[in-house]
């Protein structure tokens, strides 16, 4: 896959992940900055590193499964691995400007 094709593929996955919202903030996990990294490997293998706004949140499992299902919905994706990490811990500064404005983050 060329670098351009790879970037386009990652962008399609990123767009699919926007279907997943953080229930408390009510905004998609990509623009909240909860998705740390998306890697694409040969054979349609996708690896996503993500976090949650708070450790131990009861929604964690659902967010992880939701991200997996959303990424899997992208055509040609054959396998999705979601890794949860708290390093670095999420802070509201990681949100996009649009998300901050939408949520009234100071």
Partner 1 sequence: MVGVALSRWTMSYFAAAVMALIAAEAVMLAGIGYPQAPIAAPESLLLVHLVAIGWLSLLMCGALFQFVPVLVVRPLHSDTLPLPTLGLLVAGLAALLLGFAQLGGIVQTPFAFLPAAAILLGAGFTLVLWNLGRTLWAARPLPLPARFVVGGLCSLAATVLFGVIFALVLGGVATVPHLVDVATFGLPIHVIAGLGGWLTFTAIGVSYRLLAMFMLAPELEGRTTRGALYLGAAALAAVIVGGAAAICLAGNVMTAVAIGGLLGVACLVLYGRDIVHLYRARKRRVVELNSRMAAVALANLAATVALGIVLMAAGRFTDHVGVVVFLVGFAWLTGFGLAKLYKIVAFLTWLECYGPVLGKTATPRVQDLVTESRAQKWFVLYFVAVWIAAAALLLAQPWLFRSAAGAMLFATVSIGVELMRTRRLANVAPNLRLPKGVRPPHLLHSSVQLG
Closer to partner 1 by CB, 10 or 103: give it.
Answer: 103
Binders in 30-49 for partner 1, by CB under 8 A: none
| Binds partner 1 by CB under 8 A, chosen from 57, 74, 77, 96 | 57
| Binds partner 1 by CB under 8 A, chosen from 14, 60, 77, 96 | 60
Residue indicated by tokens 């100071």: 106
- From first CA to last CA, the distance across the chain in angstroms is 41
| Binds partner 1 by CB under 8 A, chosen from 10, 49, 59, 74 | 59
Q: Are 49 and 29 in contact (CB under 8 A)?
A: no
Name residues whose C-beta falls within 8 Å of residue 57's C-beta, 6 or more positions apart in sequence: none
Q: Does 68 bind partner 1 (CB under 8 A)?
A: yes
What's the closest the beta carbon of residue 101 comes to partner 1, in angstroms? 11
Distance in angstroms (rounded) separating the CA atoms of residues 14 and 7: 10
């Amino acid at each position: 896959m060329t670098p351009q094709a790879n970037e386009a593929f990652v962008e399609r996955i990123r767009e699919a992940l926007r279907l997943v919202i953080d229930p408390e903030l009510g905004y998609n996990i990509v623009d909240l900055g909860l998705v740390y990294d998306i890697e694409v490997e040969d054979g349609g293998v996708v690896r996503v590193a993500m976090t949650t706004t708070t450790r131990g949140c009861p929604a964690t499992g659902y967010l992880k499964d939701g991200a997996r299902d959303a990424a899997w919905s992208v055509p040609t994706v054959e396998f999705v691995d979601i890794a949860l990490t708290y390093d670095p811990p999420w802070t509201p500064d990681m949100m996009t400007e649009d998300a901050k404005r939408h949520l009234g983050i100071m």
